[in-house]
Each structure stands twice: as structure tokens, then as C-alpha cells.
């Protein structure tokens, strides 16, 4: 079979190279070739842009659908009411059950999610296995204290408007790395518009570089967030000083 094919092709080639081929034939051949090219192009574009993301990320629902808006309205200190700093300087991150129980000892309303929460977790004492959108790899050391307390950064800068969400969005986990999609960013091409679109090392670097370019002391935060509702009053940030030296790797890695 293969030998036959080879022979056939050889003849074709000979026809093409030795004899002067007719134009029409050539055009037709070119057309077919072009069609195949387009098929390949479109097909692979579809795979890359549409199918690949579906394959790469698994979709997970949060155990409880959480309404940030309701909570932000109910608490006094904005984000820090629940996502607070501990005395030892560490950041509490996602609240533990013990914190929620403070208000949710019993269901406060009739929201089915809250009822579910009280029933499944509060009464049984099971921690809620929240999926953390912004969970960084283990090798990353991130100091909330230095950014929030010293850098006077707003939560929104990195976490976006999660405080205004009424529902928990789907958590997408990278099947290969096991990390949240938020790290690479929603945009698969890696493009970003806002500071909170992506949480990769380059994004940290970008921000630090930007501040460096503006000089050591930063009076205003370098993004237009004045129109955003602020969970807490932004303190005067004239003393904000940002680390701009090229620092040792282990300042951010462990």
C-alpha cells in the first residue's frame, strides 16, 4: 500500500516539476490547500479558546452561597469585621465557624442557604470547607499586614469587588496545578484590565515597579477607585512607603 502511494506521489511530483502544470489545476490545488489551512486554523482556534479552558478547569460550587452585600451592610468595620488581623500580626483570611456562630447561632432569616449553613455546620460543628478564590501556592509568603497596615492598600486592589457580590461565584480549579483560576485570571489569554484581574508574581512585580517609578512615597493609590464604595475609611496615606528595592526572593517565597 505504502509503496504504491509513494509511487503515485512520485509521479505527481514529476508531473509538477518537469512538465509545466496547467494553471487551473494549480489553482484548484491551491484552493484545496487553503481550505485545509483554514480548517486547521479554525479548528485549533476553537480548541484553544473554547474547549481547552473547559478541559483545564473543573467547576466547583461553594458549599454555601454567601452574600457579601448583606454581611457588609450588617457589620460595622467593613471587610475587617470578618477578615481581620490577629494579634500576632497574621491575617485571619476566611472566617472560621466560631466567628460566624457569633451571629448565626440560630438562623436569622429564612434564606435557604443560611438554614443549610446553620443546619449542616453550626449545629454539627463542622467547619465550612470554603473554596478560597485567592489561595496562593504554598511557596508564596504574602503579608497582608505590610500591604494593608503599612501600604494602606484597599482590599479591592487585589481582591476586586468581591465585597459587592450577592452570590458566591463558581470556583474554578486548574486540573493541572490545583490552583484557583483567579491566580491566572479569568481571561485565558492572560490579559488584564484591572489590578484585581490576576494574582501572579508578575502582577505583584508590576505594582511594585509602578510605585517605584512614582517615587518612594506614594500619596495616592495609582488606580481610580474613588467611585468605589469603601468598606472602611481610607486613612491618609502620606506615609505609605513601599518596598521598591529588588529584594531577596524569600521576602515573598518560603
Partner 1 sequence: MKVCRRSFLSLIIGGAAGTALSPLPLKLMDDSSIWSQAWPWTPVPEDGEVSHVGSICTLCPGGCGITVRKVNDRAIKIEGMKGHPVNNGGICVLGLSGLQLLYGPTRVKTPLKRVGARGEGRWEKISWDEAIAEVVKKLGGLREKGKSHTVACISGTDRGTVAQLLGRFLTVYGSPNFIRIPSIQDSYELTMHLMQGVQASAGFDVENADFVLSFGSGLIEGWGSPVRMIKANSKWKERGKVVQIESRLSNTAAKADKWVPINPGTEAALALAIANVIIQKSLYNADFVKNYSSGFEEFKQMVLNEFSPDDVSGITGVSASTIESLAKSFAGSSKPLAVCGRGQGETPGSLNEFMAVHTLNALVGNIDKKGGVWTVPDPDYIKWPEVEMDRIAANGMSKARIDGAGSKRYPDTRYLLDRLPNAINSGKEYPVEALFVAGANPVYTIPDSKAVKEAFNKVPFVVSFSSYMDETAVNSDLILPNHVFLERYEDVPTPVGLQKPIIGLSKPVVKPLFNTKHLGDVILLMAKAFGGQIAKAFPWDSYEVCLKETLGNKWDKLINDGFWADSNFRPAVWGGAFHTPSRKFEFVNKGKAESIKIEGDEKAYPLILMPYDSMRLASGFIGDPPFVIKTVEDTVLKGKEIVVEVNPKSARGFREGDQAILSTPKGSVKVRVHHFNGIMPGLVALPRGLGHTAYDEYLADKGVNFNELIGPVEDPVSGLNAAWGIRAKLTRA
Partner 2 sequence: MLPFSFEWIWDLSHMVFMGGLWYALTIIGLGMTYCIIKAAVDTCKGKGGHCGH
Partner 3 sequence: MKEQHKNTKAKKYGMVIDLDKCTGCGACMAACMAENNVPFKKDESNKLDSITWMRVYSLTNGKKFPEADMCYIPRPCMHCEAHNGHAPCVSVCPAVATDYNHETGIVSQIYTRCFGCRYCMAACPYHARYFNWWDPVWPDGMEKYLSPNVSPRMRGVVEKCSFCFHRYQLAMNKAYVEGRRELEEDEYQTSCTQACPAGAIIFGDLNNPGHAVNQIAKPDPKHGGRPMNPHAFRLLERLGTNPKVYYLSSREWVRRAGDNYIKDEGKQGNH
For residue 109, give every residue at least 6 positions away whose Cβ sits within 8 Å of its Cβ, in sequence order, or none.
none
SS3 assignment, position 231: coil
- Interface residues with partner 2 (CB under 8 A) are 14, 17-18, 201-202, 205-206, 209, 246
Min separation Cβ 221 and partner 2, Å = 20
Stretch that binds partner 1, among 108-116, 132-140, 207-215, 221-229 (CB under 8 A): 132-140
How many Cβ atoms sit within 10 Å of the Cβ of residue 179? 15
State in angstroms the smallest separation of the CB of 143 from partner 3: 5
Binding partner selected for residue 36 from partner 1, partner 3, partner 2, none, CB under the kind-specific 5 to 8 Å limit:
partner 1
Angle, CA of 162, 164 and 167, to the nearest 5° = 75
- Provide the β-strand partners of residue 140: 253
* Residue 133 touching partner 1 (CB under 8 A): no
Query: What part of residues 199-238 is at the interface with partner 1 (CB under 8 A)?
Result: none
Q: Which of partner 1, partner 2, partner 3, none does 232 bind, CB closer than 5 to 8 A by kind?
A: none
Is 45 or 115 the residue whose CB approaches partner 1 more closely? 45
In 3-state terms, what secondary structure has residue 171?
strand
Give the C-alpha separation, 24 to 243, whole Å: 68
Shortest spacing between CB 93 and partner 3, in angstroms: 12
Residue number with CB closer to partner 2 (27 or 238): 27
- Please report the DSSP string for 42-89 in residue order: HHHHHIIIIIHHHHHEEEE--SS---HHHHHHH-SSTHHHHS-B-TTS
Whole-Å CA distances, 170 to 35, 45, 50: 39, 25, 18
Nearer to partner 2, 79 or 252 (CB): 252
Q: Which residue ranges make up the site for partner 3 (CB under 8 A)?
A: 85, 87-90, 137-139, 141, 143-146, 149-150, 217, 241, 245, 247-251, 253-254
Q: Which is nearer to partner 2, 15 or 103 (CB)?
A: 15
Beta bridge partners of 60: 171
Least CB distance from residue 242 to partner 3, whole Å? 12
Tell which residue, 182, 170, 171, 159, has the closest CA to residue 228.
159
Amino acid at each position: 500500500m505504502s509503496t504504491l502511494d509513494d509511487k503515485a506521489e512520485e509521479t505527481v511530483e514529476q508531473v509538477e516539476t518537469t512538465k509545466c502544470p496547467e494553471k487551473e489545476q494549480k489553482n484548484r490545488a491551491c484552493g484545496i490547500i487553503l481550505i485545509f489551512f483554514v480548517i486547521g486554523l479554525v479548528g485549533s482556534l476553537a480548541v484553544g479558546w473554547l474547549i481547552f479552558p473547559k478541559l483545564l478547569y473543573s467547576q466547583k460550587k461553594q458549599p454555601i452561597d454567601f452574600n457579601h452585600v448583606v454581611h457588609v451592610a450588617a457589620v460595622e468595620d467593613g471587610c475587617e469585621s470578618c477578615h481581620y488581623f490577629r494579634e500576632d500580626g497574621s491575617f485571619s483570611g476566611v472566617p472560621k465557624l466560631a466567628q460566624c456562630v457569633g451571629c448565626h447561632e440560630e438562623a436569622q432569616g429564612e434564606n435557604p442557604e443560611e438554614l443549610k449553613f446553620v443546619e449542616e455546620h453550626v449545629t454539627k460543628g463542622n467547619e465550612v470547607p470554603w473554596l478560597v478564590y485567592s489561595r496562593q501556592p504554598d511557596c508564596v509568603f504574602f503579608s497582608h499586614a505590610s500591604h494593608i497596615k503599612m501600604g494602606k492598600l484597599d482590599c479591592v486592589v487585589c481582591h476586586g469587588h468581591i465585597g459587592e457580590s450577592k452570590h458566591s461565584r463558581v470556583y474554578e480549579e486548574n486540573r493541572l496545578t490545583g490552583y484557583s483560576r483567579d491566580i491566572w485570571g479569568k481571561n485565558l489569554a492572560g490579559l488584564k484590565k484591572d489590578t484585581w484581574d490576576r494574582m501572579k508574581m508578575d502582577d505583584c512585580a508590576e505594582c511594585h515597579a509602578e510605585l517605584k517609578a512614582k517615587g518612594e512615597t506614594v500619596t495616592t493609590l495609582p488606580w481610580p477607585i474613588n467611585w468605589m464604595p469603601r468598606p472602611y475609611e481610607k486613612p491618609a496615606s502620606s506615609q505609605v512607603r513601599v518596598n521598591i528595592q529588588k529584594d531577596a526572593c524569600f521576602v515573598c517565597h518560603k
